[in-house]
């Protein structure tokens, strides 16, 4: 089995852990789609991701990587995102190299 799979909530993370995966990825794409019914275009906020991510991290013993999007703004926002995600319990954070505001990574016209 693969070592990492994505989730959008705490029950999904528990299912991933129960299936024997070694880690989970808390996906902004999956969160935006499942919770907001929106595409991954930067609509989900830092605080929504950190709050939901805290629940995900608390639900499992495996490490969870958080989707830090573009860091939610400039340099100070990236610093806040990384520190906040660490406090939420994430083992690591992924930061996209897109210009802010971001576009869906699967759409045309993405600028890095």
Catalytic residues: 104
Give the DSSP per-residue string, 10-58. Answer: HHHHHHHHHTT-SEEEE-HHHHIIIIIS--SSS-S-HHHHHHHHHHHHH
Distance CA 60, CA 95 (A): 23
Q: Which residue has the tokens 């406090």?
A: 87
Token pair recorded at residue 99: 């210009």
Distance CA 48, CA 31 (A): 9
């Amino acid at each position: 089995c693969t070592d990492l799979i994505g989730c959008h909530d705490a029950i999904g993370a528990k299912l991933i852990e129960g299936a024997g995966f070694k880690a989970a990825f808390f996906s902004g794409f999956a969160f935006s789609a499942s919770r907001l019914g929106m595409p991954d275009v930067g609509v989900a906020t830092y605080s929504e991701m950190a709050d939901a991510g805290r629940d995900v991290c608390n639900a499992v013993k495996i490490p969870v990587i958080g989707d830090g999007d573009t860091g939610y703004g400039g340099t100070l926002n990236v610093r806040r995102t990384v520190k906040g995600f660490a406090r939420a319990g994430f083992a690591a954070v992924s930061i996209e190299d897109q210009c802010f505001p971001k576009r869906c990574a699967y759409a045309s016209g993405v600028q890095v």
